[in-house]
């Protein structure tokens, strides 16, 4: 965790150090998984919790290089936005994943071979060069290079024959940047459930080349057959952002989904009190990595310290019932929060609006303007979405 101190100052330092490399150097070297990861930003944990925002990162990079020279890095930032929008338009995909994951976990309880192979993969004891190293690196550091994530997922699915849902869960429990949209949909893409007929095959020569010879696995699957999949249902509609009434007595709910609350605070006269809801454990029915739990907890604490008395009195709320009681006890007329995207935090807070409204307390779910502009464009593949990036950048 020392590689990623959980505070905004560390995020800004990392951004400043990376900006000079965000142009052509990044385009040339971004796929290389090398010790210390010298060619990628390492901003993912901070962007995941929005300790630093996509807008800040994009402005800094474009200011230094221009949009054309930094286009590869800009694409990587927008991949996360695209995945979030895609899942917001299709929330049932997350529900399907959770159901299938539970079914796979149930299988591990009765199928000894599956359980042994799953445990060996998670512990890095498969005997596959590279794969075992990445499994251990993930558990020890909470981070993996993006290219390594793709290789790992492909080997998990096509060489080891393990359910992709178990792999997605392994990542979500251990990644400091474990994002329900990026993680779930990337695993689906590798396994062939995102783009019909398309899978991702990890090739030994590709791994050897982009790890500079560190790893040269043998015995990997030579084919990645596309699974049978039903067509995607038509996309739904993006929820609309709500605006607070600045005249009402207001409390703020702070979650790990957005730790840069300035944009919410600006919408009201005064935040009299803040409830902190940490839903990290909801990422899985299995135990989430203690490192991830600690990192998120410290990041929330540092966010509170950074904003001082702008957040009013602070209360820790572990469940919907706690938030409800907090709002009543503080005499609030409205509760404002960044709308959680589809995933564990949103699941954790199901029923909150009904509880509050029963007592005449309005729940305001706000969406950042940049997300409101981008998410509706995630109707098809990324390359269709990419056509809109110049307009999205102009709006910044």
- Residue 115 inside a domain? The answer is yes
- Residue 232 inside a domain? The answer is no
pLDDT digits (tens, 9 = 90+) for 284-313: 999 999 999 999 999 999 999 999 889 999
- Residue 388 inside a domain? The answer is yes
**Domain-terminating residue out of 210, 232, 263:** 210
- Residue 144 inside a domain? The answer is yes
Residues 141, 71 share a domain: no
Domain range for 357:
250-366
Residues 50, 107 share a domain: no
- Residue 222 inside a domain? The answer is no
Spell out where the chain has E strands.
Answer: 250-255, 271-277, 313-316, 334-338, 362-366
- Residue 190 inside a domain? The answer is yes
Q: What region does 385 belong to: left with phi over 0, alpha with psi -120 to 50, or beta? A: alpha
Residue 197 confidence (pLDDT): 86
- Residue 221 inside a domain? The answer is no
Question: At 61, is the secondary structure helix, strand, or coil?
Answer: helix
Residues 35, 102 share a domain: no
The ranges of the chain with pLDDT < 70 are: 1-2
Domains of the chain: total = 3
Residues 191, 149 share a domain: yes
Residue 62 confidence (pLDDT): 97
On whether the CB atoms of residues 146 and 132 are closer than 8 A, the answer is no
Token output for 69: 């020279």
Residues 109, 160 share a domain: yes
CATH number at residue 280: 3.40.50.620
Of 165, 168, 180, give the one whose Cα is nearest residue 279: 180
Question: At 16, is the secondary structure helix, strand, or coil?
Answer: helix
Residues 380, 355 share a domain: no
Token output for 191: 């396994």
Residues 102, 81 share a domain: no
**Domain-terminating residue out of 188, 210, 232:** 210
- The span from the CA of 34 to the CA of 386, in Å, is 28
Q: How many CB atoms lie within 10 A of CB 161?
A: 10
Residue 2 confidence (pLDDT): 67
Residues 381, 357 share a domain: no
Residues 359, 255 share a domain: yes
- The span from the CA of 167 to the CA of 104, in Å, is 11
């Amino acid at each position: 965790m020392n590689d990623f101190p959980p505070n905004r100052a560390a995020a800004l330092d990392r951004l400043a150090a990376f900006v000079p490399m965000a142009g052509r150097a990044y385009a040339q070297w971004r796929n290389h998984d090398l010790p210390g990861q010298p060619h990628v930003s390492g901003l993912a944990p901070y962007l995941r919790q929005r300790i630093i925002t996509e807008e800040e990162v994009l402005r800094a990079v474009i200011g230094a290089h221009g949009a054309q020279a930094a286009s590869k890095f800009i694409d990587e930032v927008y991949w996360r936005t695209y995945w979030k929008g895609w899942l917001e338009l299709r929330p049932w995909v997350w529900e399907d994943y959770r159901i299938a994951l539970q079914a796979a976990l149930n299988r591990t309880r009765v199928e000894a071979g599956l359980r042994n192979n799953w445990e060996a993969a998670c512990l890095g004891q498969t005997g596959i060069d590279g794969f075992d190293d990445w499994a251990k690196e993930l558990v020890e550091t909470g981070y993996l290079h993006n290219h390594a994530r793709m290789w790992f997922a492909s080997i998990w699915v096509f060489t080891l024959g393990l359910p992709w849902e178990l792999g997605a869960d392994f990542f979500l429990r251990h990644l400091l940047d474990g994002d329900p949209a990026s993680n779930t949909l990337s695993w689906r893409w590798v396994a062939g459930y995102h783009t019909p007929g398309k899978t991702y095959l990890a090739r030994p020569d590709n791994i050897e080349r982009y790890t500079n010879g560190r790893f040269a696995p043998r015995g990997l699957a030579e084919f990645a057959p596309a699974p049978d999949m039903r067509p995607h249902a038509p996309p739904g509609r993006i929820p609309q952002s709500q605006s607070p009434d600045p005249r009402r007595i207001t409390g703020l709910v702070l979650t790990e989904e957005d730790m840069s609350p300035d944009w919410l605070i600006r919408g009201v006269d005064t935040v009299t009190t803040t409830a902190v809801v940490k839903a990290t454990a909801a990422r899985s029915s299995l135990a989430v990595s203690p490192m991830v739990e600690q990192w998120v907890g410290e990041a929330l604490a540092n966010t509170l310290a950074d904003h001082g008395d702008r957040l009013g009195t602070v209360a820790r709320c572990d469940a919907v019932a706690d938030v409800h009681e907090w709002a009543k006890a503080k005499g609030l007329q409205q509760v404002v929060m960044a709308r959680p995207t589809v995933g564990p935090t949103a699941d954790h807070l199901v029923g909150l609006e009904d509880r509050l409204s029963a007592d005449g307390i309005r729940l305001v779910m706000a969406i950042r303007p940049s997300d409101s502009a981008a998410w509706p464009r995630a109707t098809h593949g990324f390359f269709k979405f990419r056509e809109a990036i110049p307009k999205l950048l102009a709006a910044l």
